[in-house]
Amino acid sequence: MEMENPANASFAFLEERTMHESLSVVMLGLGYIGLPTAALIASKGISVHGVDVNADVVRTINEGKVHIVEPDLEGLVTYTVAKGFLKANTQPVPADVFLIAVPTPFREEHQPDLSYVESATNMIIPHLREGNLVILESTSPVGTTERIAGLIFAARPELRDRIYIAYCPERVLPGKILFELERNDRAIGGLDARSGEKARAFYALFVKGQLHVTTARTAEMCKLTENAFRDVNIAFANEISLICERLGIDVWELIRLANLHPRVNILQPGPGVGGHCIAVDPWFIVSSAPDRAHLIKCAREVNDSKPHHIVEQVLRAASGLTSPVIACFGLAFKANIDDLRESPAITIVKELVASRAGRVLAVEPNIDVLPDELAVGGALQLVDIKTALREADILVLLVDHREFTNVDPLSLKGKIIIDSRGSWTSTRPIS
């Protein structure tokens, strides 16, 4: 679309300014991506108004504290809140730039659920003004950026050709989010060329990585493709692990030897795939072209089946014991974080509790209380490592948190070990 001299002169900073204290940003969603991004932007002296529907999250942030586990994040939030650059509320305010970083889960049959994105968009519509920049960061199906533009212009037709809209997904690894937010390259997709350039100029204020401008649809598909690629490679490792188990081969040794080949780099198998990206994003591709996405769908099915295989291993081990106690080590979707979203460990623990095969203990050093979905009925206990090692007959390693990999091997003696991560090296009793 052709932009006609937006009246809001605040975007002069995108063209020439090096000082940007007067710039204002609204961040919708203060979770694992939104809060670190908001804090990073605020650390550059930019006024950031964070928005979250959870009043407890808002209160915590305004106290200079954080509600998630991420290295260095609390220090940055404490600093930016104390300096007055970062504030949180349950409602948005007028601003120059609006960032949307809310969840995009899926509904039944793995269909995308865009209700959070649509709700966030509707929240900002009354506050939009000519010259504003709206950026969707949430991982989304192809066409979502166009969809939010449609919502905006349906409600505010006078803003057509008067605001800028773009898509820019994150590329970060939990545990290194702040570093990677600043250093990683970004793909920026504008609904038109000028929107792409406006978004590029904005990210240049706080991102040191290279900024690559493309179309919104290409940027949306780029994010999905990155995570589908990883999912397919993990599925290969998980399928090899199932075959090795059938053939009596140590999969960890096999992969180590295979990776000595100069052009082979097999990933490590595990109990499945979790997190809000890799476990979800490939389904967005499948839903958009189900008659074409055969390999991607198959990989998802392999990885989704792995938790049930772990449960079968545990149930076989428990069947030979009287009143067994089963300790599951790890609930997060990956090591050394507290993020439980789409975690295969959660699926495994829920199935073990439902099976009534024995008393089930959960060990997760990064949380203080069980999530609601596991706390129902009190059938699951959250315990520390020492208690689990002392009381359990079967030890199930689901996440290789540093606290677990440092466990004294002697404390495993006499236990049945089911090691989905290869950190305890054996699936047989240690004699």
Distance in angstroms (rounded) separating the CA atoms of residues 378 and 362: 12
277 as an active site residue: the answer is: yes
Distance in angstroms (rounded) separating the CA atoms of residues 132 and 163: 5
Residue at 91: amino acid letter:
Q
Distance in angstroms (rounded) separating the CA atoms of residues 40 and 137: 15
Catalytic-labelled residue, pool 87, 168, 198, 223: 223
Token couple for 134: 């709206």
223 as an active site residue: the answer is: yes
Catalytic-labelled residue, pool 87, 168, 198, 277: 277
DSSP track, 350-409: HHHHHHTSSEEEEE-TT-SS--HHHHGGG-EEE--HHHHHHH-SEEEE-S--HHHHTS-G
Question: Up-side HSE of residue 247: CA atoms within 13 Å toward CB?
Answer: 10
Residue at 405: amino acid letter:
T
Torsion of CA 386, 387, 391, 396, to 10 degrees: -70
In this structure, how many other beta carbons lie within 10 angstroms of the beta carbon of residue 193? 12
Residues with a catalytic annotation lie at: 223, 277
